[in-house]
Chains A and B, each alone.
Chain A
Amino acid sequence: MNQTRRTFLQASMAAGTVAIATSAGLLSPRTVLAAWPKKAFDASSLADAVKAIAGSDKTVNSKEISVEAPDIAENGAVVSVTVKSKAANTEQISVLVPENANPLCASYVTTDAVDGFVTGRIKMRKTSDVIAVVKANGKLLTAKKPVKVTLGGCGG
């Protein structure tokens, strides 16, 4: 009984610290939507990363999604990638590079107010596919584009 009480106290104290930090504005200048998904960004395999960010790894190839990236990227440190989604109710667009140490590069949580279209620049360690995973209507739609990298961008 005492043991349970101890565990409970520890847990509630830990939670309390986070709450105080948040209310003091230490953690966020924004409205907190969701905690930054550390697990997803730390995942070292593609399947784990997709599962952690999108909640499932059951993806379906779709023609509604298109990935635009250069065929050959001279500098892997800056690869411009555009993901377009024509699927209705696009909720989330994630960009992954399987050959990177941590495949998940970026994830965009969209709302009705924006088109299913984002452009960003990512780093690529070496020649690889760029994979877009789009969450729409509860389904995971995916598309990919191979990009040849002549100079790696992740250092090390």
Chain B
Amino acid sequence: MAKKKMKIRAWADKGSATVKAIVFHPMETGLRKDKATGKKIPPHFIEELAVKHNGKQVLTCLWGPGVSKNPFLSFRLKSAKKGDTLQLSWIDNKGGKDVAEAKVK
């Protein structure tokens, strides 16, 4: 299994917060060929990423193979303050998954 990692940063600013996150994932489309063997690399991508703010689901990202490698996500969260908890969880097409938490700074 590939090394699973996520980076989440969130800053509170005037009652809302900017959230930026990177998920480290190969995001294979299934269209690429392995240059050494000439075989197609099987698809491997994140299907769904869920964002929870203090336990409440606020954003769901449905991703397809068209999302770039190591996907980046940024959005604005309304009514967030310093110390709030953010939780990101994702699942990929092979059943791989990961969860990470971060505090709003």
A residues engaging B (CB < 8 A)? 26-31, 33, 36-37, 41, 53, 77-80, 82, 97, 100-115, 117-123, 153-156
Contact for B61 among A79, A82, A106, A122, CB less than 8 A: A106
Contact for B50 among A31, A100, A104, A155, CB less than 8 A: A31
Within 8 A of A (CB), among B46-105: 47-48, 50, 53, 56-69, 71-79, 89, 91, 95, 97, 99
Q: Is B7 an interface residue, CB under 8 A from the partner?
A: no
A-B contact pairs, 11 of them (CB 8 A): A26-B95, A27-B91, A27-B95, A33-B50, A109-B59, A114-B76, A115-B75, A115-B78, A117-B75, A120-B72, A154-B66
Find the residue from B33, B48, B53 having the highest chain A CB count within 10 A. Answer: B48
Contacts of B71 in A (CB 8 A): 120-121
Contact for A106 among B56, B64, B79, CB less than 8 A: B64
CB–CB A114/B78 < 8 A: yes
CA of A131 to CA of B56 in the docked complex: distance in angstroms?
30
Distance from B78 Cβ to chain A, minimum over Cβ atoms (Å): 6
Contacts of A28 in B (CB 8 A): 91
CB–CB A102/B16 < 8 A: no
